[in-house]
Structure 1
Amino acid sequence: MSRLLVTLLVILVVVVGGLFLLSSRAHEVPQTQVEKAVSLDNLS
Protein backbone atom coordinates (compact mmCIF):
# COMPACT_ATOMS: atom_id res chain seq x y z
CA MET A 1 0.00 0.00 0.00
CA SER A 2 1.15 3.49 -0.69
CA ARG A 3 1.79 5.99 2.07
CA LEU A 4 -1.05 8.18 0.82
CA LEU A 5 -3.57 5.36 1.14
CA VAL A 6 -2.34 4.46 4.65
CA THR A 7 -2.53 8.11 5.71
CA LEU A 8 -6.06 8.48 4.37
CA LEU A 9 -7.16 5.29 6.13
CA VAL A 10 -5.68 6.49 9.44
CA ILE A 11 -7.40 9.87 9.11
CA LEU A 12 -10.69 8.17 8.24
CA VAL A 13 -10.47 5.86 11.27
CA VAL A 14 -9.67 8.79 13.58
CA VAL A 15 -12.56 10.88 12.24
CA VAL A 16 -15.08 8.02 12.46
CA GLY A 17 -13.87 7.15 15.96
CA GLY A 18 -14.16 10.77 17.06
CA LEU A 19 -17.67 11.05 15.67
CA PHE A 20 -18.69 7.85 17.43
CA LEU A 21 -17.21 9.09 20.71
CA LEU A 22 -18.99 12.44 20.46
CA SER A 23 -22.30 10.85 19.51
CA SER A 24 -22.19 8.48 22.45
CA ARG A 25 -21.50 11.30 24.91
CA ALA A 26 -24.36 13.56 23.80
CA HIS A 27 -27.41 12.85 25.92
CA GLU A 28 -30.42 15.09 26.19
CA VAL A 29 -31.43 16.05 29.69
CA PRO A 30 -35.19 15.86 30.24
CA GLN A 31 -36.81 19.11 31.25
CA THR A 32 -38.03 19.41 34.81
CA GLN A 33 -41.04 21.50 35.69
CA VAL A 34 -40.55 23.79 38.66
CA GLU A 35 -43.61 25.08 40.44
CA LYS A 36 -43.19 28.13 42.59
CA ALA A 37 -45.60 29.48 45.18
CA VAL A 38 -46.82 32.97 44.25
CA SER A 39 -48.44 35.26 46.77
CA LEU A 40 -51.68 36.96 45.72
CA ASP A 41 -50.99 40.12 47.74
CA ASN A 42 -49.47 41.88 44.73
CA LEU A 43 -52.60 41.56 42.57
CA SER A 44 -54.74 44.21 44.30
Structure 2
Amino acid sequence: MSRLVVTLVVILVVVVGGLFVLSGMAQEKSPVRVEKVVPLANLSN
Protein backbone atom coordinates (compact mmCIF):
# COMPACT_ATOMS: atom_id res chain seq x y z
CA MET A 1 0.00 0.00 0.00
CA SER A 2 1.08 3.53 -0.59
CA ARG A 3 1.94 5.92 2.20
CA LEU A 4 -1.16 7.99 1.48
CA VAL A 5 -3.50 5.04 2.03
CA VAL A 6 -1.72 4.03 5.24
CA THR A 7 -1.88 7.61 6.51
CA LEU A 8 -5.60 7.87 5.75
CA VAL A 9 -6.32 4.56 7.50
CA VAL A 10 -4.38 5.66 10.58
CA ILE A 11 -6.23 8.98 10.69
CA LEU A 12 -9.57 7.19 10.31
CA VAL A 13 -8.76 4.79 13.14
CA VAL A 14 -7.73 7.68 15.41
CA VAL A 15 -10.92 9.63 14.65
CA VAL A 16 -13.19 6.62 15.22
CA GLY A 17 -11.35 5.74 18.42
CA GLY A 18 -11.70 9.31 19.63
CA LEU A 19 -15.43 9.22 18.96
CA PHE A 20 -15.78 6.07 21.05
CA VAL A 21 -13.79 7.63 23.90
CA LEU A 22 -15.87 10.81 23.83
CA SER A 23 -19.16 8.91 23.71
CA GLY A 24 -18.10 6.89 26.75
CA MET A 25 -17.35 10.05 28.71
CA ALA A 26 -20.84 11.54 28.25
CA GLN A 27 -22.78 11.30 31.50
CA GLU A 28 -26.08 12.87 32.36
CA LYS A 29 -26.32 15.06 35.44
CA SER A 30 -29.53 15.55 37.36
CA PRO A 31 -30.79 19.15 37.34
CA VAL A 32 -30.11 21.25 40.42
CA ARG A 33 -32.92 23.37 41.78
CA VAL A 34 -31.91 26.95 42.56
CA GLU A 35 -34.25 29.10 44.57
CA LYS A 36 -33.91 32.85 44.23
CA VAL A 37 -35.63 35.63 46.21
CA VAL A 38 -37.70 37.93 44.02
CA PRO A 39 -38.63 41.31 45.54
CA LEU A 40 -42.33 42.20 45.42
CA ALA A 41 -41.53 45.46 43.60
CA ASN A 42 -40.45 43.50 40.55
CA LEU A 43 -43.74 41.56 40.49
CA SER A 44 -45.96 44.66 40.39
CA ASN A 45 -44.77 45.86 36.95
Give the TM-score normalised by structure 2. Answer: 0.65
**Which segments of 5 or more consecutive residues in structure 2 lack a partner in the other structure?**
36-45
Please, which moves more after superposition, 16-25 or 26-35?
Answer: 26-35
Query: Which ranges in structure 1 are unaligned for 5 or more consecutive residues?
Result: 36-44
Hey, which bits of structure 1, 4+ residues long, moved more than 6 A? none
1:14 Cα deviation from its structure 2 partner: 0.2
Aligned length: 35
Aligned Cα RMSD in Å? Answer: 1.6
